[in-house]
């Protein structure tokens, strides 16, 4: 009994300590929110006023009513991320099924090629893709962001590893019942691998949503910018208007934070699953 109370006390103490650390982690966000509602001359008053003395929406006004409003970036981001991830899931799932469940000539060779290119960082692709996209005429279009994300070795690998865990006997017995590969894929494999799909979707969605490098290199027009690139433009135009910058940052984080808070469990599980296979 005494032991139990001591343990509880220690736990309470550790909780207080960790609460302090976690506050340190989110202080930058709190400061961002607070500054975004402050007029220019109050941002750096010290001691820090967490609740603005004379709150203003001026900064948000700049974000939503600039020459290319924030909502444009938001819709661009939705379009690019949704199409990229949907495309990737479909092509990866089909390819993963072929690698895992169909014995066809050339399978091992192709698999080896996929394997050997896994290690190439995305930045290696920026220069050659830049040239190729200009030749193909998709430079400065959303296709330049969507197309390359649709065909990844990573997605194929991740899903293949899950498909491999489904016993071949299950597919064989379906085959005897007259099912073709496509119906085995659709009716047996896919329903059993929902966790893998959700992991891939979440992991790649976060990556695609936050991607800054590819839009930076492949998009040149502000009206086509996704949120991170839009924020970059906004920064160039309002270099030292710190309140406006914080309002922009705030708006850029709201969508992903909202989705994260709703699907927190799936997010963490998805990142743990897909992250381990990265």
Partner 1 sequence: MNSTKLRRGKSLARRRENIAGWLFIGLNFLGYIAFKLAPLVFAGVLSFTKWNFTSGMKNIKWVGLKNYMDMFKDEAFLTSLMNTIVYSLIMVPVAIFLALIFAVILDKYVYGKGVLRLAFYLPYISSMIAVSLVWMILFLPTNGPVNQILTSLGVENPPRWFNGSSTSLLSMAIVGVWQRLGYNIIIVLAGLQGISASLYEASDIDGANVVQKFLYITIPSLSSTLFFLTMISFINSFQVFTPVKVITQGGPGYSSSVLVYYIYQKAFQYSELGYASALSWVLFALVFVFSFSRMIVDYMGSVKQRKGGTK
Comparison of 194 and 278: residue with beta carbon closer to partner 1: 278
Three-class DSSP labels, 91-129: HHHHHHHHHHHCCCCCHHHHHHHHHHHCCCCCHHHHHHH
DSSP for 180-193?
-HHHHIIIIIHHHT
Q: Take residue 113 and report the two structure tokens written for it.
A: 């090629």
Comparison of 32 and 192: residue with beta carbon closer to partner 1: 32
3-state secondary structure of 45: coil
Q: Least distance to partner 1 from the beta carbon of 260, Å?
A: 5
Q: Least distance to partner 1 from the beta carbon of 78, Å?
A: 14
Q: Least distance to partner 1 from the beta carbon of 119, Å?
A: 4
Q: Least distance to partner 1 from the beta carbon of 246, Å?
A: 7
Note the Cα 48 to chain centre separation in Å.
33
Comparison of 57 and 122: residue with beta carbon closer to partner 1: 122
Q: Least distance to partner 1 from the beta carbon of 185, Å?
A: 8
Report how far apart, in Å, the C-alpha atoms of 229 and of each of 21, 60, 273 are: 31, 18, 29
Q: At what angle do helices 242-262 and 227-237 cross, to 10 degrees?
A: 170
> If you search the block for the tokens 């019942």, which residue do you land on?
177
Comparison of 186 and 192: residue with beta carbon closer to partner 1: 186
Comparison of 170 and 260: residue with beta carbon closer to partner 1: 260
Q: Which of 68, 73, 41 is nearest to 56 (CA)?
A: 41
Q: Least distance to partner 1 from the beta carbon of 250, Å?
A: 8
Comparison of 76 and 152: residue with beta carbon closer to partner 1: 152
């Amino acid at each position: 009994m005494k032991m139990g109370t001591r343990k509880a006390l220690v736990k309470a103490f550790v909780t207080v300590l960790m609460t302090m650390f976690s506050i340190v982690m989110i202080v930058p966000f709190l400061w961002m929110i607070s500054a975004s509602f402050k007029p220019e001359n109050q941002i750096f008053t010290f001691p820090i006023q967490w609740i603005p003395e004379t709150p203003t929406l001026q900064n948000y006004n700049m974000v939503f009513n600039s020459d290319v409003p924030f909502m444009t970036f938001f819709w661009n981001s939705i379009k690019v991320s949704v199409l990229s991830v949907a495309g990737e899931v479909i092509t990866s799932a089909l390819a993963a099924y072929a690698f895992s469940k169909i014995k066809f000539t050339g399978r091992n060779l192709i698999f080896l090629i996929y394997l050997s290119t896994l290690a190439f960082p995305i930045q290696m692709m920026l220069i050659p893709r830049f040239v190729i996209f200009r030749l193909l005429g998709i430079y400065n279009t959303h296709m330049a962001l969507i197309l390359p994300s649709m065909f990844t070795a990573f997605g194929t690998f991740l899903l293949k590893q899950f498909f491999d865990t489904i016993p071949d006997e299950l597919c064989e017995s379906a085959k005897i019942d007259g099912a073709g590969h496509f119906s085995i894929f659709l009716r047996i494999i896919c329903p059993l691998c929902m966790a893998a799909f959700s992991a891939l979707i979440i992991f790649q969605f976060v990556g695609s949503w936050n991607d800054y490098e590819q839009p930076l290199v492949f998009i040149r027009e502000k009206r086509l910018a996704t949120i991170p690139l839009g924020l970059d433009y906004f920064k160039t135009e309002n270099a030292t208007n710190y309140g406006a910058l914080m309002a922009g940052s705030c708006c850029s984080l709201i969508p992903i934070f909202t989705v994260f808070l709703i699907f927190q469990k799936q997010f963490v599980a998805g990142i743990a699953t897909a992250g381990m296979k990265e």
